[in-house]
Chains A and B, each alone.
Chain A
Amino acid sequence: MGLVQGAIVSEEVIRTRIWHEEPEPDNPFAAKTAYCHGYDVYGDMLGRARWSEMVYLLFRGEAPAPAEADLLETLAVALANPGPRDPSVHAAMCGGTCGSPAASSLMAALAVGAGNLSGGREVLAAMEGWEACGTDLEAWRGRFANPPQTAISVWPASEHPPGFDPHGMAAATPVLQALERLATLSPGPRLAWLARHRPQLEALAGCPLAFSGVAAAAFADLGMATEAGEMLYLLLRLPGAAAHALEQRGYGHKKFPFFSIEFDMAGEAS
């Protein structure tokens, strides 16, 4: 790579298996055609492909079967808005209410919604569970009893079984509604198995199923790699964060909670 000083006549290229562009004859920086995994996006797909089909194509490299597109589309609706109580949306609203740039609200939602509690990292960890255990209840029993050791990394250690809600009493109604609907649509085995064995899994986990657990099963049924599931979960939860950020911009910071403060002993100035 070109780390030498001075001008570089670069032969370096960006490699991709996803996207192929052919230039306009008069401008090498303007694309005349754009192919996504071989499909002509603007000449063939546009107006005929659904958004969920495009997203599936980008991540899997193949067009989805109708059932897969329906599952992804329905999952996208289920995840579109975690609602204003969700920490990631709360973060986005902190940007919106004080007039921060639009991108900062989405960055805030992504950062807060990335972690081990209801976030992208939790979905990745839950999908690793599906990779390891599949639809084998005994395997899940072993995994809950002896969770895999995670290497030291920038992520704080997980404090609850991934895909389950540490603060829940029972699976929330929307979680159950989403699971039921998605299980009827899924061409894969995991969502339906999860719906059948949810009580046993919750007993093993010690807490109820969460949206992240449903999403992980859905991504696994869609054949997504764990890292793709993490990315898609981050992506699909952004619409609500954006809408709520914009709404709070309209309300303004005086109508947004600031909260009181209680100092523990060391926190207060002497």
Chain B
Amino acid sequence: MNRATRGPQVLSEHVGSLKSRVGGFVPGSHVAFRGCDLHGELKDMEWLALYVFGITGRRFSAAQVRLVNAIWSYTSYPDARLWNNRVAALAGSARSTGNLGMSAALAVSEASIYGRGIDIRAIEFLLGARRCEEAGGSLEDYARTELAARRSIAGYGRPLTSVDERIAPILALARELGLADGDHLRLAYRIEEMLLSGRWRLKLNYAGVVAALCADLGFSRREYYLFSFPAFLAGMAPCYLDAVERPEGTLFPVPCRMVRYEGVAPRTWHPASRDAA
């Protein structure tokens, strides 16, 4: 057992007090935010810049903030058919609160086929690919290993369609801002070329592009994961509102015929325990 991080003594050292490296507030005085006065030094910082500063502890240029802002905007779809948005909308239709609906919608955005589950794998794949190349390894072997282990490569392919309408605008903006020449983005496209020419037929998708752009901004895996958290949020509120303003229960009502039962035939319940006792 590692006594430095385990055992009741470690817990005892932390009783009753918050030990903070990131800040806190002194009532009536000031708020410390990563070593800065929130209402002083940081008072004019845009919210998104503050959010990214809170995650990374680093300050980003106006161009970089504009790019990461667009990364969110371009994937904010007010379409309640999308699985996460549907949660927010169903909350509205069932007359729950907007906060609950959107919190749950963000929670389910941590999916394995889209959202946070893909984001964290996508950036790790690219960061790992770079490490592999720097160590003199083969990208093809690296990709093959990932496919063997996970049966997919995050950032390549798309669950719904093969054409990703978000890629052209985000790359255009990145070029305009001078942020489209990073090593990870170039690497992402070289990998795409390899995956398309081989038998895999996998195209770089939006998650892969933005993971590469953010890796080029210096985001670590965990920083990128936390940065991505509200990515779909702007599309969720309209879905909730649209549903809450329509007659209750009218979002995706499901008649009995729309549920296809594929289980066992009717049978008689034989009480297992109480009647037998």
Contact = CB atoms under 8 A, between A and B. Distances in A.
Interface of A: 1-3, 10, 12-23, 28-29, 31, 35, 37-40, 44-45, 48-50, 53, 61, 63-66, 68-70, 101, 103-104, 107, 111, 151-154, 159-160, 166-169, 206-207, 257, 259-264, 266-270
Interface SS of A by simple majority:
loop
B83 to A, nearest CB: 11
A168 B11 CA distance: 10
B268 to A, nearest CB: 7
A264 B276 contact: no
Nearest first, the 4 closest Cβ-Cβ pairs linking A and B are A28-B255, A269-B32, A17-B263, A20-B261
Nearest to B30: A269
B257 A28 contact: yes
Interface in B1-52: 1, 5-8, 10-11, 16-24, 30-38, 40-41
B264 A38 contact: yes
Given A21-B259, A153-B117, A154-B117, A267 B10 contact: no
Contacts of B124: 152
B11 A167 contact: yes
Contacts of A40: 266, 269
Nearest to B160: A3
Given A29-B254, A44-B269, 9 more contacts: A15-B259, A35-B266, A39-B266, A63-B269, A68-B272, A168-B7, A257-B16, A261-B20, A266-B34
Contacts of A69: 272-273
A64 B272 contact: yes
Nearest to A205: B1
B259 A19 contact: yes
B121 A152 contact: yes
Contacts of B17: 259-262
Contacts of A207: 1, 6
Given A16-B259, A262-B17, A262-B20, A154 B116 contact: yes
Given A50-B274, A66-B277, A37 B264 contact: yes
A16 B6 contact: no
A266 B21 CA distance: 6
Given A38-B264, A151-B149, A259-B18, A269 B161 contact: no
Contact of A268 (B35, B103, B259, B269): B35
23 contacts: A12-B258, A13-B258, A19-B261, A35-B261, A37-B264, A38-B266, A40-B269, A45-B269, A48-B269, A61-B263, A63-B270, A66-B273, A103-B100, A154-B120, A166-B6, A167-B10, A206-B1, A257-B16, A261-B18, A262-B18, A267-B20, A270-B35, A270-B37
Given A103-B96, A169-B7, A16 B262 contact: yes
Contacts of B18: 259-262
Nearest to B6: A166
Contacts of A21: 256, 259
Contacts of A104: 99-100, 103
A217 B160 CA distance: 39
A56 B95 CA distance: 31
A260 B16 CA distance: 7
Contacts of B274: 48, 50
A225 B265 CA distance: 23
A270 B23 CA distance: 11
B86 interface: no
Contact of A267 (B21, B99, B149): B21
B125 to A, nearest CB: 9
Nearest to A73: B273
A267 B23 contact: yes
A14 B254 contact: yes
A261 B24 contact: yes
A106 B252 CA distance: 26
B104 interface: yes
B97 A101 contact: yes
A260 B225 CA distance: 30
B223 interface: no
A264 B258 CA distance: 58
Contacts of A49: 269, 271
B263 A23 contact: no
Interface in B88-143: 96-97, 99-100, 103-104, 107, 110, 116-117, 120-121, 124
